[in-house]
Structure 1
């Protein structure tokens, strides 16, 4: 999902400098800093095992369960209602025998008696229900197990369904669950789904629209945290085949490949779509004039069929109002995919959605080249009521977005196809593992897209007071615990900034990129934990980063580096200067110091984080021939220092 602003993160270009280092005994730690906490040798409290290695990779006996779906529904535009059935084939690959199963019924968040409704602030917010529905209306639940079909023994608690199995599901066995259900589509679905009126009809964005399996993993067993709105999703992988029956004058788009194009598209649309598959320029598939005529005369409804492989979810959109355009995506190894956009005529201008497909194609090609090839056959951007929300191969972005705003939300939502669609982390608990990672890669792609057309560097040095404000929530909290005013900082900006600084200030781009790519490849279509990420980054980069994880992720420590004093050897500037710096708060980072002398000569000194291992002060020797005029810590303003007033020393 998106926030109002996708923050740009600063990158550092370090210059190599020659200086003489002399270790000077450190003074006692200042009151705000204790090196024993920052560099405590005990970080990982559990050893690696056969499921998850100490090096951060899946172990030799790593497992995860599988969920395959076959879904068939009808969209009733008169009643704004979706109804149909789902058949789930659930395979138990765990070493455990399962006597019951848990499913997620996300539509129940919209009930008046939902737990989310009771726990929502009175003042409202982005994830608040703005109109109740009946939630998931379940009319039948049956099981097919060992060739026998029978009614299921089930109970529903808020957004969760528990099914008690008549025969326990052993390792390697599968069971099929069949559910008949229906729900009314809310107009505002907590900014994740809904419907938007346009001059040519309603735009439906449909998500969390079928009962989905909860994850059973080697970390917690069943993951059954209720869906309250802010926390997103944790899902199993499998193949999903689904069909949408809708009025014949609607265009339907969805996750995966449309498998019956000839049955639902006109001859002109088919021809235009084929042109788009070989074009790097945007091709119109259905224009505004086609909206005004019924191109399937004599037919009341059409059934659109889709298939999405090795996916954790699917979503779709439908409208009579859609203009539709598309272009080819060029992927590594010569592979191709299709970028496409659907939007109402009201927002078709070149400064708005007229460039959407260009943005889709651009960001996906950049992410694929840099990190991991895009895995879905189609990438669809939908203009609608949702401000910004991501699903495999399809995203919902605000129809009101234009220019840099439309690039930003498109780039962000499609970045989620890497985190968490490819790397399947637990968003319900760790929002930063998708939002923060995604914010980080968004910045790199924005710097590259169209020669930086929309890139604006942010002065990170000015963000410290806000980022480390009193009573700030930490990154390692569930989104439902983080205060709404802090969610943008703690789920998006702070972890994204942390990764940027880890790359630019600690490891360097080469070592960071190798480790980050290894993490993505190791955990593609799997379920990593924060500790798997930490271990991978350390083992691949060859660096103990426990001090970094403590400072940025596990605590709400602040950063305050300062220049304490400047003296000269034997009081003679010609014999060199002794510069003393301080670490006044608990967070530690490497130090960059710029030095100027009275003759205008300038140098830059870079010190590793280890200078803080023996205390909060550090003195180093600089070869000089003249008195110094100025010493500045963090001269490029790339660290979120809470007090920049003490970063500079000037000669009196």
Structure 2
């Protein structure tokens, strides 16, 4: 750093603020600190400017009585339901809209006809199956829609069905109507949708994960009327709350797990199973209700009879269930805010040992941790079901993947992947099953908030847990990618280009940055809990979240929402240069000594060094008579006159000014450039000459008058040898090479290798193989060891 001197005078301040430039972005003409006005809806009596529900807030209600039968021979569902719909809006409704989400698997669905794909010279059969879908007859077959036995006129538009009412449904009135239907269940390994069946060839049995199995009421709300956007596959579900009574008829040897509480345990469970279930209520570790040995025995037989399991769920927005004779079932009870919560898992033997060891423990841990950061979990059960792929969430129940190898071993990635997906899907009980956001429009409101809480929960499970999402550094590659493959977070669910990065990773990262860097944990945690409390069992919109986070913290976050949620800007702040200053003390002895040090330390002139050789003697050296006073004069020698002038100067100063001259402070002018366009706090680490370090956190408002370029002066008692921005990588800065001054070369390595077949064994298998080799007896003969 080039050192400069500050000349202090009594009359004029030599340090002045830079004249404010127009506040503008590096990427657009928009002021990054402009308030979110046009972007947010106008507050009203339903939704307030504070982000809370208004005094006239309302929402509709839908209650269900459903009867379904599982056909284990044909893999089909037959069902009928009575829906009681209550109009709590101020509007008359001449018709109702019902969602038919199974129709996404119809051969002629809008999803199938609009899907894009590419052919390659070599393609797996599964890829062609996905393109053709010619061998599966999917979608709802609506048999009847009636009210009091009389057929109702209805119109099906892809995944939506309009039911025309005989007379408009007035405010505060209810109507009950019935729907009968059937549909074929998809093979999840061929058509990977959110539910379906898995077939196990070795024992000839099926495992069913059943959801979107009944026609469901669409949401009618104050902010958009009917939510009738078609279901195309990405935008999940917007649903009203209500009470459910569901009777599920399945083969008599099946175990059925479901949303809600079982109403007829004496009819479907053995006395031993009921005893085990009762003991699980207060258990500190999972209790087996159905053991692996019992499940394996059930796999061998296929009785012809059936059983009907009846479940009831209060104040939920959806319902799902699972059924199989292969299920192992375990449970343990926890207390949450004084209420009993039964945490349970259903899984085939193929899931062990991972599932028996971890699943229910993870369920319990998730309920406890999410309740701490949001609101207490109020439902009576929380269930994890193991299926073949992915993960999907429903009230009180979720479907999760993560299966060990056939020999029972597994990689670390498989273990942590399974734990993470269970945390994530169980966590969805809070977002959106309780805080009931509109997934069809805004995926990030449930997936992003939930992924953030998943990150918090993972870190409380195990120190240094390998979380995929949440840490800002993990979002860097996406945020610095080509803008053409990105969409802003505030994009409709069906329009997002990279769903995982856009709707899961980036909003989760944004919330972590808010918590750790912008707001601080105390303010963030309070505001986040306030949002969950305000909108529990209600329908929040993005503005309600944005406004609540500001309202409960007194932190203006419009700049943050604008940058992170409405644009594709990224973080890239650069230290363009640093100038070092110290105060000119006016003391000739001090200043002359410093000047002499600088002269001695200055680089030598190449001409001077060569002249010493090429010119042994100058003319003055040869003729001393040419020398005069100035040949021996040293301007850096302090004279009595210099000292006298200094004393006079000091005497004329005020005491505080005299002290300022002698403090020996260091001043550093740091030039900062916002290259990425995303305004963020500036976090500066200074390394002092003695090796100690200090971190200074500067709020994002430093950019408020110039979004692109600012200069900041730092004053230190000790000299600084280096400046580094964002030393803990907490702002998702996409280019660390310009974060240091002096510039630092980032070390890296490359690997030399000879191509060979990829290692197929996971670390557990390798260890088992090594142990088997060590334990293998040595062959011997009479002649000695071979």
Q: Give the SS at the match of 1:569.
A: strand
Cα gap change, 1:28/1:292 in structure 2, threshold over 3 Å: closer, same or farther?
Answer: closer
More strand, by proportion: 1
What residue ranges of structure 2 are gaps of 5+ in the alignment?
A: 1-14, 119-126, 405-413, 585-663, 745-786
| Cα displacement (A) at 1:231 | 1.1
Contact 2:475 2:505 in 1 (8 A): no
Task: Give 2:289's aligned residue.
Answer: 285
Deviation by residue 1:375-407 (Cα, 9 ceiling, x = unmatched): 221111111124100000000011526421111
Question: Please, what is the CA RMSD of the aligned residues?
Answer: 2.5
Q: Which has the larger radius of gyration?
A: 2
Task: Please give the residue correspondences for 1:417-432 in structure 2 after superposition, counting only pairs within 5 Å.
Answer: 417-432=429-444
Kindly tell me: are residues 454 and 557 of structure 1, through their superposed partners in 2, closer, same or farther at Cα, counting changes over 3 Å?
closer
**Partner residue in 2 for 1:177:** 177
| SS in structure 1 at match of 2:46 | coil
Partner of 1:241: 245
Alignment of 1:371 with 2:374, yes or no, is yes
Q: 2:657 matched to which residue of 1?
A: none
Query: Are the aligned partners of 2:470 and 2:509 in contact in 1 as well (CA < 8 Å)?
Result: no
Please give the alpha-carbon distance, in whole angstroms, between the structure 1 residues aligned to 2:437 and 2:360.
28
Check whether the contact 1:110–1:129 (CA below 8 A) recurs between aligned residues. Answer: no
Aligned residues: 623
What is the SS of the residue equivalent to 1:411?
Answer: helix
Distance 1:336 1:395, change over 3 A: same
Give the direction of change, closer, same or farther, for the CA distance of 1:168–1:618 in structure 2 (3 Å limit): same
SS of 1:37 mapped into structure 2 = coil
The CA deviation at 1:602 is 2.1
Q: Determine which of 569, 574, 582 is the counterpart of 2:673.
A: 582
1:535 to 541, 544, 547: 547
**1:136-215 residue pairs with structure 2 within 5 A?**
136-144=140-148, 149-188=149-188, 190-198=192-200, 199-200=202-203, 201-215=205-219
Point out which structure has higher relative CO (alpha carbons under 8 A, 6+ apart): 1
Cα gap change, 1:126 to 1:265, in 2 (>3 Å):
farther
How far off its partner does 1:34 sit? Answer: 6.5
In structure 2, relative to structure 1, the CA distance for the partners of 1:233 and 1:127 (3 Å cut) is farther
Where does structure 1 lack aligned partners over 5 or more consecutive residues? 1-21
TM-score, length-scaled by structure 1: 0.91
Equivalents in 2 of 1:421, 1:457: separation in Å?
22
- Could you tell me the TM-score, scaled by structure 2's length? 0.76
- SS of the aligned residue for 1:623 comes to strand
Residue in 1 that maps onto 2:323:
318
Q: Which deviates the most, 129-138 or 298-307?
A: 129-138
Does the CA-based 8 Å contact 2:255-2:325 persist in structure 1? yes
Alignment map for 1:107-118 (pairs within 5 Å): 107-118=102-113
Structure 2 distance, partners of 1:26, 1:34, is 21
Compared CA separation, residues 221 and 433, structure 1 to 2 (3 A): same
Query: How has the CA–CA distance of structure 1 residues 24 and 450 changed in structure 2, closer, same or farther, with 3 Å as cutoff?
Result: same
Question: By how many angstroms is 1:548 displaced?
Answer: 0.4
Q: Give how far 1:140 is off.
A: 1.1
- Give 1:627 shift: 4.1
Summarize deviations over 1:269-307 as a string: whole Å, max 9, x none: 111111111101111111122224469998711000000
| Contact 2:362 2:423 survives alignment (8 Å) | yes
Distance change (3 Å), C-alpha of 1:122 and 1:35: closer
- Provide the C-alpha distance between the structure 2 equivalents of 1:601 and 1:73, rounded to a whole number of angstroms: 70
Counterpart for residue 733 of structure 2: 641
Task: Say if 1:610 and 1:453 are closer, same or farther in 2 by CA, change over 3 A.
Answer: closer
For 1:5, the equivalent position in structure 2 comes to: none
Shift of the alpha carbon at 1:126? Answer: 13
Who is 1:502 aligned against? 514
C-alpha separation in 1, matches of 2:471 and 2:511: 16
State how far apart, in whole Å, the 1-side matches of 2:27 and 2:721 are.
29
1:593 maps onto 2:595 in alignment: no
Change (3 A) 1:125 1:256: farther
Rounded Cα–Cα distance in structure 1 between residues aligned with 2:474 and 2:347 = 38
